Amino acid sequence: MKRIKKRLIGPVSLVMTVILFIGMFTATCYAMDNKEQSREKNTDLYEYRITPSDPEWENLEVQERWDISNIPEEYAATHSTNALLLSLLKCPFISNIYYFDTPKEGIDVFRNDFPAMGIFLNRDNALEELYKYKSDYETNRAGIYGEDSREYFEYLIVCDLFVYLQNKSAESANLPAGQANRQISYVQTPNGSNVMVYVGLTYSDHNTTQTLAHQVTLDAVTNYNATIISYESPSYNCHAYAWYSTTYTNYWMSDPSAYMSDGSYSGTTTPLINRRITYKTGATLKHSGVISSINGGIVNVKSKWGCAGVLRHEETHCVYYMSPSINATNVEFWKAN
């Protein structure tokens, strides 16, 4: 009898364990479904404490503006996907997405700097909500709002987020979107090294528009206290501006490292007017600029921000310095040899 009893205990225990597991799994799924259903009922938009339309904005330090524009993660986790999307579109720093070579690179940075965006993009129904927004605008609102409106600007952002979710791995983070079909050429460093450039890029090569580039140029003034030197252009970027020419505007340079590695320029700890400045994450070069002035120990820089304009800004007043995800602790100065 003892042998029979031992043989019966195993199967009975296994069945009980399976039943218990199924019950726990079902209860967990039910709780998760209830939590998601409850979250989707919370449709109140996030109210930013201070925005650029408030007079108090002018009195804030740039870092304070950044901080109060960050939607709390508690809100993001407990409100509907649609409410989260609409709230993110009103974020004063949403323009940060477009200060890089591609929207993909900008979105990757923004989702880390502003975690609510990461929460939104990780939602199962994020793509559906973007599609609904896009379709509604194209069907019902496209004829109402002009290309200079905030509504159209937000629609363009939604289009880029939609493409981002569809093709997260399809686009290089470091080269223009239209690189495969564009003319390339080479320029030379002062010491004769060849550096590849793209020639004559247009807004369509970047999958963007002049309207959007113009708006994010204006936002740089509002958010970072920048001064516009020249307006938006899709044909040249920060590296071409800083290393090749501040006046010739038809080259887009992805990798200027030869200027620093072949002895044309050498590193220095002393910032002086017309010397170059680079922002790096480790060894990865994120941004280049030219020192325009030094006032009271504050280094002022002029640099091209993606497809946006050439801007004069303080060394620390730019996304390339302030972004925690870039973490550009390696800011370097370069002098011509």
pLDDT over 70 for what percent of the chain? 84
Where the chain has pLDDT below 50, the residues are: 1-9, 18, 27-32, 169-175
C-alpha span between 328 and 331 (Å, rounded): 6
Please report the pLDDT score of residue 183 as a whole number.
83
pTM equals 0.82
Please report the pLDDT score of residue 325 as a whole number.
81
- Burial-class residue 34 by CB neighbours within 10 Å (0-12, 13-18, 19+): exposed
Please report the pLDDT score of residue 324 as a whole number.
87
